Chain A
Amino acid sequence: MDEFIEFVRGGPLGPIKKWGTKWSLWPVHLVTACCGAELAHAFAAGYDGERIGALNYGIARQTNLIIVEGAITRKMARVLRITWEQMPDPKFVIVMGACGLQGGIFWNGYHLVKPSDVVPVDFFIPGCPPTPEALLRGIRQLQFKIETGEAKTSATFPEISLEAGRKPRVLPRPPKKISKAPAVIVNAPKEVDWEFGQKLVEELKAKIEAKSVTITGKNRIAVKVESDSITKTAIRLKEMGFDHIKNVNVIDVPNEDKFIVEYHFSSYSVKELMPVIVNVFADIPRDNPKVKSLANMFPSADYMEREMYDFFGVIFEGNPWMGRKFLLAPDAPEFPLRKDFKLEEEVYVR
């Protein structure tokens, strides 16, 4: 980044180059989040960023400034790098918002990348989101940097030594042990006035070898089965008229050393069954998380099974996508939603 500043300021034509670049910073904006609205505000009627010569341009090839608006995930990092490399030298980067600075509300997330790791950043604009004035001040600061050659923060704070002030508070310590979580109960029974439900429960009990069939609310039935009889249960439910799977879900219960796999069945074709959701769930061991896939029978389960593999590492046997990343970036850490997933250690600065 400093070589660009040196190029702009150097040589016998330095003053001309400096002047031209300073008054013609055309930003290409990489919107990933709400900061884009603030950028639009900064260039609209009220604040009018075009006053200082910055003209918004959607095309990377003809610009010299990139404004990163919002959190950069592992997938967007590639896009940011490609956009940056498309731009002709000399080029500058301004990062907007708390997400780009330290992660913001996504702080310490498994999917987040700091923009400063991807491209050389000239200025950060803090705020969530920053105001239009702050953005325009960032562009002004970049202009001053081009003019004077040194980067300065536009905000100055008085310095106070730690000893002079009050004693530092005792900071909270990380917990030494994790208390035992209460058991996760998926099929907590509930008394409801639902006649058709009673009939349905009787029918299900007759047809399915279930461990238990419970009504958990109006139009909600939970069916507990063995993990290897999920396929059989699905066939029976399909015969009854349940024609699609609304949701596939996995619950991690590390203290009982198991995953709970849930399939939510419902119907589009039989009128009485339309509001009903039948939750078929089974416990599977945590060290060998395998369950038969229903993707062949119910195509709507396919994507959700892939997603559950991404997040929890539960292998759905028969689904051809297992073992590959589906929605997560290829370099994302494995199984980030498992409860024993190690995040970066929290660091307190005294």
Chain B
Amino acid sequence: MMDIINYLFETFSSNMMDIPLIAPIVDYLMKIPVINVLVALILWKPFFAVIIMPGLGVLVLYLLYVVWYERKLTARIQWRVGPLEVARPIRGAIQALADGIRYFFQEAIVHREAHRPYYVQLPILAFIPVLLPIMFIPAGSAVGIYTPYSIQLIVTFIALIPITIVAIGWAANSRFAYIGSVREAFMYFAYEVPFIIAVISMIFLYGSGDAYVAVEKQSAIPGALLNPIAFIVYIIAMLMATSRLPFEIPEADQEIAFGPFVEYSGILFGLVMVLAYEKLYIMTLLFTILFLGGWSGLYCPLLGDLNGPLWMFIKTIVVISILVIVRSIYARYRLDQALRIGWTSMLALSIAALVVGGALGVWLS
């Protein structure tokens, strides 16, 4: 028993985050017998990257932030105040928490026409392709599983998400859910091809699917300036993929009442509602790595190894906060218009990006 604990402790402590700011506390805690294993586990680099930053821990914080921020920003643009009275000193920042608690304690209705097992388990199954990419996203020296094909793997998991959403619509077995699933499938074909070509052009440019190589190559000029066409295509594809407003076609709440999610209630709706936000988070992490220089930034010696994840998180939040503005100032495209954009201008742009990326990649190497 002690051997196993010792072995675990040595494994964890050999690869720990080195943060000078909290070093005295860590040193003190490492002397206490049982707690030192826990501290070592938390600061173990793979665990830290996946569970704390930029993984699940900050993902929850981000969800609370982005829902509130979106409502507040929309309200300000419409000359309103937005959520306020729930917590006046912090401008109602915990509104999303109140909504989440209300969802959690509400009845979750499973209607008679639904395919009961799928209907209940698909919202949870949908988290697998959404959360698995976090294993492969590196942030500085902290990485869950290192592989030289991390970018390809992340793109693969992102491509799996719409399948679960279509399955949700099928299991709900209602007419709005059906229309929403068909729209989701259409949109999937509209954005996926330009999106993948844009990512491939960046892989050509960096000569590798390894995130570390990509960030290293951007040390002088960020990828957004190296290949601006791929940058534009990626942003538009990201808006399409996460149902942001100009392309909020699958879950248009004014016409088809949240599409695939129309029949969900209670905690199940809380789960499916955050799917798009989590997808946005993952895609923005990839966006940061590909175009904005990933975790590189001003090095603060006090933070040590925390610099990488922190810079990555800050860049991601800034990008998302800018993208959220789009929701409150644009009207919605029709399905056929979105499909036309996907299959004509975006496809052409992505192929141009592929040419630019390939040429630059050959020249740089």
Using Cβ atoms and an 8 Å threshold, which residues of chain B touch A17?
101, 105
How far, in angstroms, from A276 to B101 measured CA to CA in the complex? 69
Using Cβ atoms and an 8 Å threshold, which residues of chain A touch B3?
none
Q: Determine how close the nearest CB of chain B comes to the CB of A292; give it in whole angstroms.
A: 44
Q: Determine how close the nearest CB of chain A comes to the CB of B46; give it in whole angstroms.
A: 34
Using Cβ atoms and an 8 Å threshold, which residues of chain B touch A58?
253-254, 257
* A52–B85 touching, CB < 8 Å: yes
Contact flag A45-B95 (CB < 8 Å), given A51-B84, A58-B254: no
Using Cβ atoms and an 8 Å threshold, which residues of chain A touch B86?
23, 53
Q: Determine how close the nearest CB of chain A comes to the CB of B138; give it in whole angstroms.
A: 37
* B82–A51 touching, CB < 8 Å: yes
Determine the residue in chain B with the shortest Cβ distance to A89: B107
Using Cβ atoms and an 8 Å threshold, which residues of chain B touch A243?
none
Contact flag A51-B85 (CB < 8 Å), given A16-B101, A23-B95, A61-B264: yes
Is the CB of B81 closer than 8 A to any CB of chain A?
yes
Q: Which of B58-66, B71-79, B280-288 is the contact stretch?
A: B71-79
Q: Determine how close the nearest CB of chain A comes to the CB of B104; give it in whole angstroms.
A: 7
How far, in angstroms, from A86 to B102 measured CA to CA in the complex? 17
Using Cβ atoms and an 8 Å threshold, which residues of chain B touch A90?
106-107
* A50–B101 touching, CB < 8 Å: no
* A62–B264 touching, CB < 8 Å: yes
Q: Determine how close the nearest CB of chain B comes to the CB of A25; give it in whole angstroms.
A: 8
How far, in angstroms, from A21 to B253 measured CA to CA in the complex? 23
How far, in angstroms, from A326 to B258 measured CA to CA in the complex? 35
* B106–A45 touching, CB < 8 Å: no
Contact flag A50-B104 (CB < 8 Å), given A19-B98, A23-B98, A61-B263: no
Scoring A23, A55, A87 by chain B CB atoms within 10 A of each residue's CB, the highest score goes to: A23
Is the CB of B266 closer than 8 A to any CB of chain A?
yes
Determine the residue in chain A with the shortest Cβ distance to B104: A20
Using Cβ atoms and an 8 Å threshold, which residues of chain B touch A89?
106-107
* B105–A44 touching, CB < 8 Å: no
* B258–A59 touching, CB < 8 Å: yes
How far, in angstroms, from A19 to B106 measured CA to CA in the complex? 13
Q: Determine how close the nearest CB of chain B comes to the CB of A92; give it in whole angstroms.
A: 12
How far, in angstroms, from A13 to B86 measured CA to CA in the complex? 19
Q: Determine how close the nearest CB of chain B comes to the CB of A1; give it in whole angstroms.
A: 15
Determine the residue in chain A with the shortest Cβ distance to B75: A50
Is the CB of B108 closer than 8 A to any CB of chain A?
yes
Q: Determine how close the nearest CB of chain A comes to the CB of B248; give it in whole angstroms.
A: 14
Q: Determine how close the nearest CB of chain A comes to the CB of B177; give it in whole angstroms.
A: 11
Q: How many residues of A contact B (CB 8 A)?
A: 28
Instruction: Fill in one digit per residue for A305-333: 1 if any B CB lies within 8 Å of its CB, else 0.
Output: 00000000000000000000000000000
Is the CB of B99 closer than 8 A to any CB of chain A?
yes
Is the CB of A24 closer than 8 A to any CB of chain B?
yes
Using Cβ atoms and an 8 Å threshold, which residues of chain A touch B82?
48, 50-51
Q: Determine how close the nearest CB of chain B comes to the CB of A76; give it in whole angstroms.
A: 20
Determine the residue in chain A with the shortest Cβ distance to B85: A52
Instruction: Fill in one digit per residue for B244-274: 1 if any A CB lies within 8 Å of its CB, else 0.
Output: 0000000001100110001111100100000
Using Cβ atoms and an 8 Å threshold, which residues of chain B touch A53?
83, 85-86, 92, 95, 98-99
* A61–B71 touching, CB < 8 Å: no
Contact flag A88-B107 (CB < 8 Å), given A21-B102, A59-B253, A62-B264: yes
Determine the residue in chain A with the shortest Cβ distance to B261: A62
Determine the residue in chain A with the shortest Cβ distance to B101: A20
How far, in angstroms, from A53 to B102 measured CA to CA in the complex? 12
Is the CB of B145 closer than 8 A to any CB of chain A?
no
How far, in angstroms, from A53 to B100 measured CA to CA in the complex? 12
| Contact residues, B95-119 vs A (CB, 8 A) | 95, 97-102, 104-109
* B101–A44 touching, CB < 8 Å: no
Is the CB of B80 closer than 8 A to any CB of chain A?
yes
* A20–B98 touching, CB < 8 Å: yes
Contact flag A59-B262 (CB < 8 Å), given A24-B98, A44-B80, A48-B81: yes
Determine the residue in chain B with the shortest Cβ distance to A24: B102
Using Cβ atoms and an 8 Å threshold, which residues of chain B touch A279?
none
Using Cβ atoms and an 8 Å threshold, which residues of chain A touch B106?
64, 88-90
* B254–A88 touching, CB < 8 Å: no
* A50–B81 touching, CB < 8 Å: yes
Using Cβ atoms and an 8 Å threshold, which residues of chain A touch B83?
50-51, 53
How far, in angstroms, from A201 to B327 measured CA to CA in the complex? 69
How far, in angstroms, from A342 to B102 measured CA to CA in the complex? 48
Instruction: Fill in one digit per residue for A267-292: 1 if any B CB lies within 8 Å of its CB, else 0.
Output: 00000000000000000000000000
How far, in angstroms, from A265 to B95 measured CA to CA in the complex? 64
Q: Determine how close the nearest CB of chain A comes to the CB of B188; give it in whole angstroms.
A: 24
16 further A-B pairs in the complex, CB-CB below 8 A; given A45-B80, A88-B106: A16-B101, A20-B105, A23-B86, A24-B95, A44-B80, A48-B81, A51-B83, A51-B84, A52-B84, A52-B85, A58-B257, A59-B258, A61-B264, A61-B265, A62-B265, A62-B269
* 6 closest cross-chain pairs (CB), A and B: A20-B101, A88-B107, A24-B102, A23-B98, A45-B79, A23-B86
Q: List 23 A-B contacts (CB under 8 A).
A: A16-B101, A17-B101, A20-B97, A21-B101, A23-B102, A24-B95, A44-B80, A45-B78, A45-B80, A50-B75, A50-B80, A51-B82, A51-B92, A52-B85, A58-B257, A61-B269, A62-B265, A64-B102, A88-B106, A88-B108, A88-B266, A89-B106, A90-B106
Chain A contacts to B: CB under 8 angstroms: 8, 13, 16-17, 19-24, 44-45, 48, 50-53, 55, 58-59, 61-62, 64, 86-90
